[in-house]
Every structure is written in structure tokens, then in C-alpha cells.
Amino acid sequence: MDKKTIFSGVQPSGNITLGNYLGAIKNWVRFQEDYNCIYAMMDMHAITVRQNPQELRKRTLDLLKIYISCGIDPEKSLLFVQSQVSEHAQLAWVLNCYTYMGELSRMTQFKDKSSKHADNINAGLFTYPVLMAADILLYQADFVPVGKDQMQHIEITRDIAERFNSIYCKEGNPVFKVPEGLLAKSGAKVMSLTEPTKKMSKSDENPKAYISVLDDFSVIANKIKSAVTDSEGKIEYRPDDAEKAGINNLITIMAAVTGSTEAKIAEEFCGKGYGDFKKAVAEAVVEEIRPIRERYDELSKSKDYLEQICRSGREGAEKISAKTLGKVYKKLGFLV
């Protein structure tokens, strides 16, 4: 009970990439020892883009299997499916009434997704950050692990929480804990294999651009083999040199999966060719992913176990979130 609370989640809207694993989920596993961890499958967020219903259900369970396979322990962390806990939608509506249009219009994610899905610029896409704020505030989270590109979502969550508290809690005892973004001290920023100046993304239309943790090992090797490098032919880590973005990315991946540093990797492979280095990177990545895949395959045969995790996760999440929502409703004057 003395531990701080961490909340985070991933959308089941695409492949979980090596970047997702190294940059986020691997750190979530470490957090379990020092924090109360709450991790969700964010399927409600996924529907701002049209989804195939059967595929969404499958990917939601796949994501649960990936969480557990990567080392998130249901006995140590609370795992649940967002749409199974109605308090998320209920609080999101309330918070919509305490969020300003100007705040939402400045969100870069809305601008980015609008340009990619011009035929489906829906209201949910615009108010997406409000649902995210509800996700976080329901569980009185102290910290939310994020990358630098996601800090804007934490900032608007803080603004919404502080606004509500200032209106209804002038005598102290705030309803919402104001969360902080937790930038991981360790966690590789993995870039696209085809455009190494861009972050590796599970929504990339080019499957060669990313490595999925569910890719066949031969596919992983081929993707790394075809990864963009440069014509210089020198294995050197120069993070500020855009011309070396491709080889920098492979060095970063190698360091992350081996526990080494970029400098040591560059020194170890100094004088060797890109072909030999790519082969070594592929082998290291496969060995990192192998136990994840083995555990994933085991879980795929355990439908009853997965359903039990969903049930217990839902119950645990409802117990916490209902308490917060009850406080909100009382402050608003709703009959409870």
C-alpha cells in the first residue's frame, strides 16, 4: 500500500513491435517490483480508426498474451481490458465538460491522425486525450510511463485534473491525484528499419519497417538484413549524424537486447562489415524474443486461464475506478 501507482496501456490495433517491447513493456516488467502497476488493453482507444470486430477481439487477447509473455505477472500487476470497465466511458464524458476546445485542437496526435485518416476525422479522434485522462485519473496514478512524444497527453491530463480539483475541492482533499509523466531512464528508442529517422511504428504500412514480437524468426532475420544503413561502411555510433541513422538504430537495438552500451557495441564490431553486423543483430534479437514466443504459444492453448485473468482484472479495476467515479459524481451533484 505504500508503493506509488503506475498506469499504462497499449492499443490492440496492430502488431506489438520490438520498439514497443524495448521502449516500454520491458520497463513495465521492471516497475512491478517497486510500484503498484496497472496495465490495460486499450481497445476503446482503438476504435477511432475503423476496426474489424473479429480482428479486434483477437488482437485484444493477443495483447494480453504478449503482456504476460514479456514478463508482466498477473499476480503482481493488475491487467484488464478497457472496454470491460464502464467507468472509463462514464468519467470521459464528465471530463469532456471540463476540457476546452482550444486545448484539444493543439494536440499533435489529432493533427497527425487526421492527416492519415482524412476520410474518418471523427469526434472520438478529437476527444481521444480526454478518454486517456479518464484512464489515468480513475486509478489515482502517480506516474504514467511515456516517451517524450507523449508528454503532451500527460500535460493535458494534469490540466484537467487540476481544473476539476480547483472547482470542487477548494477545502482540500482533491478528487484526483495529479499524475506525472515517467520518462524511462533506460528503454531504447527504436527507429524504423526502412526510414531510420522515424520511430518504429506498429501502424506502418510497410511491414519491413518494423519487427513484430510475433514475427517468425526467419522473417526477423530478413527484415534486419534488409534494414537501411549507409554507403560509408563503418560501424560507428554517431547519434547526431543523420547520415548514420540506420546503423545507429541497429547499434541501439543490439545494445538494448544484449544489455551492453552503444559505445561497446561499436567498439566490438569496429572494422567489420555491415553484413556480419546485421547477422549478429538478427541473432541477438531472435534470442531476446525466443522465450516470449515460447510463452505466447503456451498461453495460446490456455483459453480458460486468459478468461480468468480478464475476469479478475475487470473486478480489480472496477473496485478502484468505481471509488473514484463515486467521488466525482458526489462533487457534481449526481444522485448516487
In whole angstroms, give the CA distance from residue 57 to residue 273.
Answer: 44
Alpha helix (H) residue ranges in the chain: 18-20, 26-31, 43-46, 53-70, 87-96, 101-105, 108-116, 123-138, 151-168, 217-225, 245-258, 262-268, 274-299, 303-332
- Report the interhelical angle of 303-332 vs 87-96 (nearest 10°): 30
Catalytic residue among 113, 223, 244, 278: 113
Here the cell at position 289 is 524474443
Amino acid, res. 296: Y
Beta bridge partners of 79: 39
Q: What is the DSSP letter of 221?
A: H
In whole angstroms, give the CA distance from residue 181 to residue 164.
Answer: 19
Q: Is 327 a catalytic residue?
A: no
Catalytic residue among 202, 208, 234, 331: 202
Residue 225 in contact with residue 171, Cβ under 8 Å?
no
Catalytic residue among 4, 76, 177, 199: 199
Q: Is 113 a catalytic residue?
A: yes
Catalytic annotation, residues: 113, 199, 202
